[in-house]
Amino acid sequence: MTGRVIPLGRIAGIPIRLDSSWFLIFALVTWTLAAGYLHELSHSLVARHFGTSVQSITLFIFGGVSRLGGGPASATRELLIAAAGPAASLLLAAVFGVLEPAASALAPALALLRYLAYINLMLGLFNLIPGFPLDGGRVFRAIVWGVTHDADRATRVAGTVGRVVGYLFVLFGVWQILGGNFINGLWISFIGWFLENAAMSEMQGQAVLEILTGHKVREAMRPDYTSVPADRTLQQLVDGHVLAHGQRSFLVERDDRVVGLLTLHGITRQPRPSWPTLRAEDVMIPKTEMRTTRRDADLRDVLEHMDRDGVNQLPVIENGHALGMVSREDIIGFLRDHVGSPR
């Protein structure tokens, strides 16, 4: 999505984040939170069953959107993962509904059960709307994918349908406003605007991926990079590189071979008095834990990995030797050269 995203923490190792749009109606929707968690966790559980990780869950105004780490490998998997959330919500609604008669003698418990049944029913039904990237849209995309055997085309079709659904919400909201139902209409229009935006950003991301398809890292990488000797102290690095050139990350080399990556963050995490004695190799990310790429890697895969891992650049390394760096900016520059502008 396009809004600012605020990290909330982790549940079962999955980062939970909050889109800033959420605050706009925070008071109205706090109560959907618990239901939203259950809904999204069911996506995660099915995804994990298929060996696909859920990278993060961003809680939006009505539930959440799970980002899968690496696209599911098949249309069937995507369909099952997408359908799991609404299925869980509808199942919970049914369970709370069935329990209602048992609580009929106790008014507060009855009210609570009705409430929970209602929330889960709404969450399940709303997410079944076929507007990509909502679950219903993902189910729709998986069906198109299964029929056409073309995942890219399926995303374009589902994205277009998602935008149409968004516009229909906006129109319906305006119609409500004109009919005097101001608050409801505004609310529905806002949801429509949000859906259209989400579908649009998915389609833009898809367009970028399609342009990159078939191109290699060698076409976008920069051959220049900054390396530092493994035995250089942090103080020397700060004086010589960070302050002088404003650099934020360095490859650490020993005997002309890359042994790790040092980031500005890694340096500033160390207490300042230790800078004159700590060496680059003491605080670097060792080579075994570094994410790297190769000249003949697909640019499309590299960008997807960057998105998944939340990194902005990757060293290009072959046979232990650094050949350069490839960053998001490099890929954007590559796109600009190829199509004028990635938009």
Query: Which residues of this chain interact with Zn ion, rule CB under 5 A?
Result: 85, 127, 135
Measured from the CB of residue 135, what is the shortest distance to Zn ion in angstroms?
A: 4
Among residues 85 and 192, whose Cβ is nearest to Zn ion? Answer: 85
Measured from the CB of residue 56, what is the shortest distance to Zn ion in angstroms?
A: 13
Residue nearest to Zn ion (CB): 85
- State the CB neighbour count (10 A cutoff) for residue 164: 15
Among residues 54 and 230, whose Cβ is nearest to Zn ion? Answer: 54
Tokens of residue 180, six digits: 């005097």
Among residues 201 and 292, whose Cβ is nearest to Zn ion? Answer: 201
Among residues 120 and 127, whose Cβ is nearest to Zn ion? Answer: 127
> Beta strands 321-327 and 313-318: pairing type?
antiparallel
Burial class (CB in 10 A: 0-12, 13-18, 19+), 303: buried
Measured from the CB of residue 63, what is the shortest distance to Zn ion in angstroms?
A: 6
Among residues 135 and 253, whose Cβ is nearest to Zn ion? Answer: 135
Contact 98, 115 (CB under 8 A): no
Residue among 330, 264, 255, 263 at smallest CA distance from 290: 263
Measured distance CA(325)–CA(315) in Å, rounded = 4
Measured from the CB of residue 85, what is the shortest distance to Zn ion in angstroms?
A: 3
Measured distance CA(225)–CA(14) in Å, rounded = 33
Among residues 84 and 331, whose Cβ is nearest to Zn ion? Answer: 84
Measured distance CA(123)–CA(133) in Å, rounded = 15
Contact 97, 125 (CB under 8 A): no
Measured from the CB of residue 149, what is the shortest distance to Zn ion in angstroms?
A: 25
Measured from the CB of residue 36, what is the shortest distance to Zn ion in angstroms?
A: 9
Among residues 42 and 176, whose Cβ is nearest to Zn ion? Answer: 42
Among residues 139 and 258, whose Cβ is nearest to Zn ion? Answer: 139
Among residues 127 and 249, whose Cβ is nearest to Zn ion? Answer: 127
Rounded to whole angstroms, what are the CA distances from 316 to 213, 220, 306, 326?
A: 19, 11, 13, 7
Measured from the CB of residue 313, what is the shortest distance to Zn ion in angstroms?
A: 32
Contacts for 75 with CB less than 8 Å, ≥ 6 apart: 142, 143, 145, 146, 151, 154
Measured from the CB of residue 129, what is the shortest distance to Zn ion in angstroms?
A: 11
Measured from the CB of residue 66, what is the shortest distance to Zn ion in angstroms?
A: 7
Amino acid at 76: T
First to last CA, the chain: 15
